Structure 1
Amino acid sequence: MGVDGFGLRTETGAAGMAAILADPAGAVIASDFDGTLSPIVADPEAAYVHPDAPEVLIELGRRVGGIVIVTGRPVAQAIALGRPPGGGPGLADVPGLVVLGQYGAERWEDGRVSAPPPPPGLDRVRAALPGLVADLPGARIEDKGRALALHTRNCADPAAALAALADPVAKLAAETGLIVEPGRMVLELRPPGVDKGQALLAFLAERAARSVLFAGDDLGDLAAFDAVRAGAASGVPGVAVCSGSAEVAAALTERADVVVEGPPGVIALLRTLAAALSGRS
C-alpha cells in the first residue's frame, strides 16, 4: 500500500509515511493521550482510552520499532485510564510501550515508573488555587502530583472563566518558578525545562529511530509537532497528525500533515497503518 490512503496533505508527511511503510522496524509511533487516544470529557478522571486503541496499538507494537505515549498526565493515571471500562486489552498490554508522563518528567516502562522529585513551589500553588476559583462555580482543580491544572469546562461560561484566571495564574506561576501550559479549557501550572518535543526527540535518539509519527490535539503538542519537523531536517522523516475538533487551535491544524476527526479518526488512521504493515509481512 502506498501513502495515498492516509489523507496526507503535505510532501513532508508523505515522505514520513513512506519511510514508515518501507522500514517499520525503524519507526516510532507516538501519541498524546487526552483528546487523541481518549475523548475530552467533563471529568478528566473519566477520560478512558478509546476502546479500540489498545488493540490497534498492540498490532502496531508487533511491527514497529517503538510505541510511546507523551502526555501531561502522570504515567500511572494514563495507564489506569488506558484500560477501557468494558474490559479487553489495555495500554499496558501493548508490546514495548513506553509512557512519558508530565511532559516527559516521568517514565513508565515494563510496569515500572521512574521520576525525579517533585519541583519546589507546588505546595504554595496547591494552597493558592482554591482561592482563585472560589468565585467560579464549576471550575475544577486537578492535582497531577508534579503539576496542577485548573479546568473551566464545567463553568457556565468556560471561555470567560478561563480568561478571568489567566492573569492570576500567570502571576502565581511567576512567583513559584513554574510555567503555565494552556490547553482546551484548562490552565496547567507545571515545572519548566521539559516539554513534549524534548521528550519525543530524546526517545527518538534512544531508539535510533529512522522515522516517526506523532498524533496530538492541543497546544502542548505543538512542541512535538516541531520535533517531528526537526527530525525530518536531520534525516528522520515524520508525520504530524492532528486529532481535530471545533476546539483545536488553528496553530495545530496548520502544522499538521493530516487532520482527522478526533480520537476515532486517530484510531482509524493507525488501523490503516497497521493493516498496511501487516500486508508487508
Structure 2
Amino acid sequence: MEGKPAGTNGDDRRSLWVFDFDGTLSPIVADRHAARIHPMCREMLRGLARMPTHFVVVLSSREIEDLAKRVPLPRVILGGASGLEWRLPGGHRIRPGEPFEARREKVRGTLAPLLSRLSHIPGVDVEDKGWSVAIHHRHVLPEVVAMLEPLLKEVEGTPDVRVYRGPSVAEVQFLRNVNKSFGVRTICRIIGLDPSIGRILYAGDDENDAVAMRWVLRKGGIAFSVGSAAHVPGARVVENPVALARAVAALAGIAPDLGKGNA
C-alpha cells in the first residue's frame, strides 16, 4: 500500500485489509441489534475481495454467528471475539480450545457481582458477547454518571481483564491478552502472511482498534481512524463509513464511482 493503490504497477505482494464492524463499516446506532453494514462499505469489501492476492477481513468483538448475519459476503474472512473465532471462505471454522474457555469462565464468575451492580444502574445495558461484555451507557442520564464511573474503574482494576473504551460503551475482554492486535496477528498466521513483506491496512474507531492500528503502523502499514479524531499518531482520519469506503476504494484503485449519490 504505502500510499499507492494496492495491486497496481505489477506489484503482486499479498495484501491484508482488516476492518472493524461497529462504527467502521456500520454507523453507530442506538439499538446494537439494528446495526447493518453500510451499502457502500459492502460494495467496497466485494471489490477488494475480487482482487487476486488480497485478503479481506472483518474483525469484531461480536460473536462470529452474530457477525456472519451482518456481513453476508462469502469471500470475506470473519473474525469474532477480537480474533478468537474465525470463519474462512468456504465455511471452515476455527475456535479457541478448552483452556481458553476455562479461563473465560473463571473470569466471568469473578466479574458477575460487579456486572450485576452495573446492570441495575438506570440507562446501562450489559451485553454478553461470549468472550467479552459490552457495558453500554449511551442512555445514562448526567446525574447518574457519578454512580457509573466508579464501577467502571472497579472493572478496569479486576485482574486478568482488559477494558477498552469506545463511544458510549466500555468493552470488557475476559482474556486480558486478547484484543484486535491479537486478532490481526492471528489471521496473519492463519493465511501465512509475513507482516514484514505483505501489506496491511486496518480501519477502526475505538481503543481496542487503536491497539491494532499501532501494530499495523509499526509494520509499515496503513491505519484509518473512523470518527472525529485519530486514536494513534499516523492514522488517517475519516469522518464516517461512507468516507472510509471512498478512501479505501481510491487507495485500492477500485470502483472509482463508488460514492456517487450515496452521501
**TM exceeding 0.5:** yes
Once the two structures are superposed, what CA deviation does each residue of 1:94-118 show, in whole Å capped at 9, x if it has no partner?
A: x2x2222212122122334332253
After TM superposition, list the pairs within 5 Å mapping 1:212-227 onto structure 2: 212-227=200-215
Tell me how far 1:170 sits from its aligned partner: 3.8
State which of 72, 93, 103 in structure 1 corresponds to 2:61. 72
1:5-31 residue CA offsets vs partner (Å, 9 max, x unmatched): xxxxxxxxxx61327244365111111
Q: Which residue of 2 aligns with 1:6?
A: none
* Cα distance in 1, alignment partners of residues 7 and 185 from structure 2: 21
Provide the TM-score with structure 2 as the length reference. 0.80
Structure 1 segment 175-194 matched on structure 2, within 5 A: 175=158, 177-190=160-173, 191-194=175-178
Percentage of pairs with the same residue: 28
- Contact 1:253–1:259 at 8 Å: present in 2 too? no
Name the residue aligned to 2:260: none
Structure-2 residue corresponding to 1:125: 111
Q: Which residue of 2 aligns with 1:114?
A: 94
Q: Secondary structure at the residue paired with 1:122?
A: helix
Structure with greater helix share of residues: 1
C-alpha RMSD of matched pairs (Å): 2.6
The correspondence of residues 250-269 of structure 1 with structure 2, limited to 5 A, is 250=229, 252=231, 254-256=233-235, 258-269=236-247
Unaligned runs of 5+ in 1: 1-14, 83-89, 233-237
Is 1:165 matched with 2:143? no
Confirm or deny: 8 A CA contact 1:214 1:224 kept in the other structure. Answer: yes
1:47 aligns with 2:43: no
Q: Which amino acid aligns with 1:104?
A: G
2:132 corresponds to 1:152 = no
Tell me if structure 2 keeps the 8 A contact 1:201–1:227: no
C-alpha contact (below 8 Å) 2:114/2:151 kept by paired residues: no
Give the equivalent residue in structure 2 for 1:198. 182
Offset of 1:66 from its aligned partner? 0.5
Once residues 57 and 226 of structure 1 are traced to their aligned partners in structure 2, the CA distance between those partners, rounded to angstroms, is 23
User: In the alignment, what sits opposite 2:248?
Assistant: 270
- Unpaired stretches in structure 2, ≥5 consecutive residues: 257-263
**CA offsets per residue over residues 67-121 of structure 1, 9 Å max, x none?**
1122221122112122xxxxxxx3x33x2x2222212122122334332253122
Tell me how many residue pairs correspond in the alignment. 241
Q: Separation in 1 of the partners of 2:18 and 2:199? A: 11
* Deviation digits for residues 132-170 of structure 1 (CA, Å, limit 9, x no counterpart): 242x32211111011111101122239x63x64343234
Q: Aligned in 2, Cα 1:17/1:164: closer, same or farther, shift over 3 Å?
A: farther
Asked whether the equivalents of residues 216 and 242 of structure 1 are also in contact (C-alpha less than 8 Å), the reply is yes
Structure 1 residue 253, shift from structure 2 partner:
5.9
